[in-house]
Amino acid sequence: ISKFMMDHLYDVVHIDEKWFNMYKGVARYCFAPDEGLPYRSTSNVRYIGKVKLLVAIARPQF
């Protein structure tokens, strides 16, 4: 029978990545009564730029 032992995770790095679209879907604006809505445009509807976010989390090594 083996005993289950928990690893202390002192030497483990967790890596995660996520893609985000470059346009902001929800935006909040404050306008004066005589101002219009802002104009949002993209160069091509089929190509909306993307940004990849890569994050690494680890225990401090000191």
For 7-55, the pLDDT digits (tens) are: 777 788 999 999 987 765 666 778 888 888 777 666 776 777 788 999 9
User: Considering the entire predicted model, what is its pTM?
Assistant: 0.47
Contact of 48 with 42, CB cutoff 8 Å = yes
Contacts 24+ apart (CB under 8 A), 5-14: 9/59, 10/59, 12/58, 12/59, 13/56, 13/57, 13/58, 14/56, 14/57, 14/58
Contact of 50 with 21, CB cutoff 8 Å = yes
Q: Would strands 50-58 and 13-21 be described as parallel, antiparallel, or unpaired?
A: antiparallel
